[in-house]
Structure 1
């Protein structure tokens, strides 16, 4: 038989044990909640950091490629939409024609851990419209127009390449325009020149905004079309998205030079991103058997110029002009 005081001691001990268990359970619950919050918060921070890193690296890759492949274009703005280890980016660009800005492209890209950056939406695709004069002369391609603003898109012709005598030349059209119209033109040369030669031979008064660099390691590959109109294969003109070069930055504050193109190439190679193969191909073509290309290896096949319709007529009859194709056209006011 248990004494009364022993029963009381057992009850007190039971209460103490229950109280201790309750405290332990509460403490463990609090610890679990704190750990969960820390893990979730850390995961969110980690995801934000890693996703931002992916976005910035991908943007650098796209920007350095745009820098050498976007004639007379500047970046307008960048919009990021970040998710879990993935996201979307919009890159908007504009161009300036004699001080007048024109909104141009919006490139939408998607990225994640596996695919880096991939094109999500070709929002800047051209609208190909038959030109009555080109149709009459049996041209086998159309003139391209920007899908966002309806402006003409420039075309370029590589010297020495067979175009089946279908080379577009818009210089005669300048006489039909108001003399004060502000115009962008892609001038394709008869052969390659250095920047110093180009600056010296082009008429004064024209703004040289972008220089087209010879990066064609196999020009014969451009001639891939064959039909009844020609016994030989021939090429189509290069669009503004197929050419490489360099131009002014910061609204012409800094004068462009061949070294700018080489620096962009070197940076693209250093990044080892998705465009590495193209940067390597261009670099190998320029340097030939040297360790690295230098400014003398940067030869120009053309130039993008801006000016008034009257000023651009000064290009007529110049022996170095193979052809000149219209780009954007705007009013001064």
Structure 2
């Protein structure tokens, strides 16, 4: 049938106009969808990044506070940040200070994601070699001896005494030694004997299952600054904050706080703290002055380094 004989003749211009409008509408919808998707992705990315940085600030502050009370004679030295589009890796270094000489110690790495998660990257571990028949196998970390503490009142199969090793230390070297006491002593009593070489104090509240020693990395205590009383106050304030704030170690901080205060029955202050051990540093001759102290139940040699 010819066009002129059709009942309703086709309007070619109108059909083309409709097709063109449809194409424009489809293209417009595609452009709008892409723009909305980009804006949504950008918004989610910004929100995820904002929440990630907020978590980093909170976690790093909490972790610094926690490390200030955990780890015998170990101090954090600062953090390095490695950025990727979707995560941040935070590496926090630490040093031991042996008679003022810094020794690089453990690096702790924590990875944060914009998706709200965080994880700790496994760091180096302590190691040692020996026979199961040995009474004690000294452990090492970063090539240095690891400190051990022995709680008073616990029945250990063996109590180490590394004080004779001081005779083998060269004059140009300085060392750290961890002394475990036979009882809990006040800060004043401890300082009366060890003040010249005291570096770090071990507090109570540590459990030793199966009569195992407490290794330095798991020990709780505080560093000695210029004023021991101010150092003790700083430890108390940090512990109070840690057990009140949300963090990875909040439950352990609460347990330690409850132990030190007898579940709130004792006011936690420098005068009420009981010290169960100490880390002293210096030359071998300087540390030999403590060899005859009746307070010392066990003595464990730690890190050793040259004075210069």
Q: Show CA shifts across 1:219-243 (max 9, x none).
A: 6xx363xxxxxxxxxx232211231
Are the structure 2 counterparts of residues 168 and 117 from structure 1 closer, same or farther at C-alpha, using a change threshold of 3 Å?
farther
Which residue pairs with 1:177 in the alignment? 169
What are the within-5 Å matches in structure 2 for residues 126-141 of structure 1? 126-130=126-130, 139-141=134-136
Q: Normalising by structure 2, what TM-score?
A: 0.82
- Bigger mean CA deviation after superposition, 72-81 or 295-304: 72-81
Equivalent residue for 1:48?
A: 49
RMSD value, Cα? 3.3
Q: In the alignment, what sits opposite 1:142?
A: 137
- Matches of 1:297 and 1:245, distance apart in 2: 14
- Answer whether contact 1:54 1:112 (CA < 8 A) is retained: no
Counterpart CA distance in 1 for 2:237 and 2:127 is 34
Q: Secondary structure at the match of 2:67?
A: helix
How many pairs does the alignment contain?
A: 299
Structure 1 unmatched runs, 5+ = 225-234
What is the aligned partner in structure 2 of residue 308 from structure 1? 283
Residues 1:331 and 1:285: Cα distance change in structure 2 (over 3 Å):
same
The offset of 1:182, in angstroms, is 1.0
Name the residue aligned to 1:229. Answer: none
Query: Whole-Å Cα distance in 2 between the matches of residues 139 and 36 of structure 1?
Result: 66
Pairing 1:101–2:78 present = no
Query: Given the alignment of the two structures, is residue 239 of structure 1 paired with residue 212 of structure 2, yes or no?
Result: no
Q: Deviations over 1:150-173 (max 9, x none)?
A: 011111111222113x21111111
Q: Is the 8 A contact 2:187 2:270 kept in 1?
A: no
Name the structure 2 match of 1:192: 184
Aligned 8 A contact 1:86 1:111 in 2:
yes
CA distance 1:291–1:116, change in 2 (3 Å): farther
Shift of 1:24: 4.5
SS at match of 1:184: strand
TM superposition score normalised by structure 1: 0.76
Q: Deviations over 1:54-83 (max 9, x none)?
A: 333333343332221111112234345567
Residue in 2 that maps onto 1:270: 244
Distance 1:49 1:32 in 2: 25
Mapped partners of 1:294, 1:328: distance in 2: 31
Q: Whole-Å Cα distance in 2 between the matches of residues 297 and 116 of structure 1?
A: 40
Give the corresponding residue for 1:232: none
> Residue 145 of structure 2 aligns to a residue in which SS?
coil
Structure 1 residues 86 and 270, CA gap change in structure 2 (3 angstroms): farther
Distance 1:290 1:22, change over 3 A: same
**Deviation at residue 320 of structure 1 after TM alignment:** 1.9
2:255 corresponds to 1:281: yes
**How much does 1:45 deviate?**
1.0
Match of 2:152 among 148, 159, 163: 159
